[in-house]
Amino acid sequence: MIERRTVFKAVVAAGAATLVAACSGTTDGKAFPLGGSGDNGGSPVPPVAKLTATPAAGAKDAGVRDPVVVKVTEGKLTEVKVANEGGGAIKGELSGDGTSWTSSEPLGYGKTYTYAAKALGTDQRPAELKGSFTTISPAKQLRATLNPADRAEVGVAMPISVKFPNGAPKDRVAVEKALKVKTSSNVEGAWGWLSATQVDWRPKEYWPANTTVEVEANLYGVDLGDGAFGKSDVSTKFTVGRNQVVKVHTPDHVMKVYRGGAEAASYPCSNGLDSDVNRNTPNGTFIIMSKEPTAVFDNARYGYTNVNKKWACRFSNHGEYIHENQDNAAAIGKTNNSHGCVNLLDADAKSYFDSAMVGDPVEVTGSQLPSPTASDVKDWFYDWPTWKTLSAVK
């Protein structure tokens, strides 16, 4: 009885693969069983089992995500050995019918791997296959980062952002095909490139409250163009919290907070100076980017430095915050005179700060200043049809 098993150990082999019968001799590279010369005038009779491997022996630049596969016809595998340069075993599985073995882990860049396999043919004669191959050695490896962070809880406007801090991938289609988004409820969304080094996924509408989101960026081994390959895979799992939306119509001098679609709070505010467009609070749908109990504000252009304010929630890379400005109490609720921020009274700022979450939308209307498109957090400045055009996959 043949025991089906998969054995892993280092194999020393070089050159082209060879297919031989166990316990046999060879003449001119042909295999034949010892003690027999065949039926056709003394020519050796090879075993009927035929073994093949992918990558083939001697292969160069094999893909690191492509599995090593060993197959046999007219027989069943009895042993498969695959090893890296250090002799470490490569994990794999034998098929139920014993005719194939497939590796189950990625390979390393620029490495040499050896394999040896044995099979027993339907003629009850053994056969063997040996060989080695090398994997691709990238000219450059591009690292990816993924946001939100694992186990984060975020607001309903939070985008998923993949960035490449050490270089721009040329093949954007390959990048997008390596990205997967899985949600606990049905959510329509799409990827869009905001720059050469950043691709974001956002839902068509705000996320449904309490959605669980899993993201996989399976970029390791992916050819990103111009000799660059993905450095590693990254993933995250986060949750979307309650639905809270801030709305500011700048001429009204009021900041309203909606929770689950119903008005939950209304705070008097002072927004950017109306008479100077450059100081307006810009229009657009922003998100809360950070929460800072205390923040220092500097703007040499307008003559102030080291101004300390409390309960600061940043909502734009253009420099806008929602924050306390008790020193401007006389204008709050009456006049817009800030440098673009939304000023609140101290108690109101603290109340809002405690309720806010990174990723909450902040919708600003009524201003003369358009959205600051130079920002890298501008996902909601686009309507849905336009957003979809930012995808590389058509």
Q: Give the pTM.
A: 0.84
176 touches 226 (CB < 8 A): no
Buried/exposed code over 85-96 (b: 16+ C-beta within 10 A; e: otherwise): eeeeebebebee
3-state secondary structure of 385: helix
pLDDT at 247: 98
Just list the catalytic residues.
323, 341
pLDDT at 20: 38
pLDDT at 300: 76
The pair of three-digit structure tokens given for residue 315, joined into one six-digit string: 């909502």
**What phi and psi, each to the nearest 5 degrees, are found at residue 380?**
-95, 10
How far is the C-alpha of 358 from the C-alpha of 81, rounded, in Å?
51
Tens of each residue's pLDDT in the chain, 394 residues: 333 333 333 332 333 333 333 333 332 333 333 333 344 455 778 899 999 999 999 999 999 999 999 999 999 999 999 999 999 989 999 999 999 999 999 999 999 999 999 999 999 999 999 999 999 999 999 999 999 999 999 999 999 999 999 999 999 999 999 999 999 999 999 999 999 999 999 999 999 999 999 999 999 999 999 999 999 999 999 999 999 999 999 999 999 999 999 999 999 999 999 999 999 999 999 999 999 999 999 887 777 888 899 999 999 988 999 999 999 999 999 999 999 999 999 999 999 999 999 999 999 999 999 999 888 899 999 999 999 999 999 9
pLDDT at 305: 81
In the chain the domains, ranked by start, together with CATH numbers, are 18-134 (2.60.40.3780), 140-241 (2.60.40.3710), 244-384 (2.40.440.10)
CB atoms inside a 10 Å sphere around CB 212 = 12
Instruction: Tell which phi-psi region holds residue 261, choosing left (phi > 0), alpha (psi between -120 and 50) or beta.
Output: left
How far is the C-alpha of 224 from the C-alpha of 208, rounded, in Å?
33
Instruction: Tell which phi-psi region holds residue 284, choosing left (phi > 0), alpha (psi between -120 and 50) or beta.
Output: left
147 touches 290 (CB < 8 A): no
pLDDT at 378: 95
pLDDT at 376: 83
